[in-house]
Structure 1
Amino acid sequence: MADKTYPKWAKPALEFGPILAFFVAYLLLKDRSFEIGGTEYEGFIVVTAGFIPVFLISMAALWRLTGHLSRMQAVTAVLIVVFGGLSVWFNDPRFFKMKPTMIYLLFGGVLGIGLMRGQSWLQVVMDGMMPLTDRGWMLLTRRLMLFFFGLAILNEAIWRTQTEEIWVYFKTFGLTAAIFVFFITQGRLFKDHGLPEDDEG
C-alpha cells in the first residue's frame, strides 16, 4: 500500500483537516448549549465529541492511503480518544485541554529515556527522513525533548490562565507554528551534521 500514488494535498488534508474542522465547529457552537439525554452540554463538549470520530476516520483514511501510521500518530489517536472521551463522559472540558500536555510529556519522556540509555529513539523513527550523523541525532533529540517539555508547560499555563477561546486558537495554530519554527531554527544543526544524500550510513 505504501507504493500507491496519491495527490500531494491528500496527506496534509487528512492530518490537519480534523484540527481545522474542530476550530471552525468551535467558533460556530462556542456560545451555544445542547441538552442531550437530559444533560446540558456546552458547545465545546459537543465539538469535542464530534472531533473524536472525525479524527479516527481521518487516521484510518491516512493509513489506507499511505500504508502506515507513525507511532506519534497512533499514540495521539489513543490520547484523543481517552481524554476527549473523559471530557464528554464527565461533561468537563478540562480533560481535553490537558491532552496536549500529556502528549508532549509522553513524547519528551520517551526521548529522555532513550537519551539516558545513550540512544536517539528519534533516529529510529525518522532516520529515513533526515540523514544526520549520530551526534546530530543526539543533539536534535535532546533539543526536541526539551522543546516537548516546554510545550507541555506552555499548554498548562494557557488553558489554566486564559479563556477557552484563546486556548482553542493556541491549540489550532500556536502549537503547529511552534513545531514549524523549532525545525526551522535547527537549520545550523542540519547543515553541520547532515550526511550526503547518497551516504547509506
Structure 2
Amino acid sequence: MLKFVADLGPLAAFFAAYAYSGDLKTAVVVLMVTMTMGSAALLLRRHPERKVHMWSTALVLGFGVLTLLLDDPLYIKLKPTALYLGLAAALLASLALGRNPVAALLAKALPQVPRAGWKGAALLWTGFMAVLAALNLYVAFSFSEANWVAFKTFALPLLSFVFICGHCGWLAYRHRGDGGRG
C-alpha cells in the first residue's frame, strides 16, 4: 500500500496543483516535494521496490530544477522519457549480466514460468518501456501542456497497469500446468 501511495500520490498532487493553478512550475514544485516525501517513506520502511522510486525522484528533482531555473517546461516533459529509457537500458544491462529484474519481481507469483519465459518477458518489458518513452515525446511535442499533464498523470500509469496485468495474465495462461518446464 505504501508503494502505491508513494507512486500515485505525487501524480495526483501534481495534477491537482496544475488543475488548480494552471501553472506547470507550481505543479512541478508540488511534484518535487511529494516525490521526495514518498521516497523518504519508502527508504525509512526499507521497501524492496524503493530503488526505482529513488531514481524517478532523482530525475524529477533534476528535470524539475532545470524546468524552474530555465523557465522551460520542456525539461519536466522529458522526465518520463528519460525514466522509461533508463529502465529499458537497465533491463537490457541486467539481462546481459545474467540477471532478470522482471523474474525477481514476479517469480513468486508465477513460479511455473521457466527461465526462458522470464527472458522473453524482460525483453517485452524493455520494448514496452521504449514505446512509452516515444509516446511521451509524441504527446509532449504534439499536444497542449494541459493534455500532456493529463497524459502523464492518467494515461502513462494506466497503460503500465494494463500492460503489467495483461502480461502477467498471459504468462500465467501460457505456462499453466507446465511445472516451470516451458
TM-score range, shorter chain: 0.7 to 0.9
- Which residue in 1 is equivalent to 2:57? 77
**Structure-1 separation of matches of 2:41 and 2:152:** 23
The structure that has the greater radius of gyration is 1
TM-score if structure 2 supplies the norm length? 0.86
Q: Which runs of 5 or more residues in structure 2 are unaligned?
A: none
- Which residue in 2 is equivalent to 1:25? 17
Percent identity over the alignment is: 27
Larger RCO (CA within 8 A; separation ≥ 6): 2
Q: How many residues end up aligned between the 2 structures? A: 178
The verdict on how the C-alpha distance between 1:76 and 1:196 changes in structure 2, with shifts beyond 3 A counting, is farther
Matching of residue 63 in structure 1 with residue 55 in structure 2: no
**Structure-2 separation of matches of 1:195 and 1:107:** 31
Pairwise CA distance, 1:70: 2.9
- Which residue in 1 is equivalent to 2:85? 105
Q: Which runs of 5 or more residues in structure 1 are unaligned?
A: 1-7, 31-42
Q: Cα RMSD over matched residues?
A: 2.4
Partner letter of residue 122 of structure 2? T
The verdict on how the C-alpha distance between 1:51 and 1:129 changes in structure 2, with shifts beyond 3 A counting, is same
The verdict on how the C-alpha distance between 1:107 and 1:188 changes in structure 2, with shifts beyond 3 A counting, is same
**Structure-2 separation of matches of 1:113 and 1:11:** 25
The verdict on how the C-alpha distance between 1:104 and 1:27 changes in structure 2, with shifts beyond 3 A counting, is same
**Structure-2 separation of matches of 1:195 and 1:78:** 42
Partner letter of residue 70 of structure 2? F
**Structure-2 separation of matches of 1:128 and 1:63:** 23
Pairwise CA distance, 1:102: 0.4
The verdict on how the C-alpha distance between 1:194 and 1:85 changes in structure 2, with shifts beyond 3 A counting, is farther
Of 162, 180, 188, 2:170 maps to 188
- Which residue in 2 is equivalent to 1:171? 152
Pairwise CA distance, 1:72: 1.3
Pairwise CA distance, 1:135: 1.5
- Which residue in 1 is equivalent to 2:28? 48
Q: Which is helix-richer, 1 or 2?
A: 2
SS at match of 1:185: helix
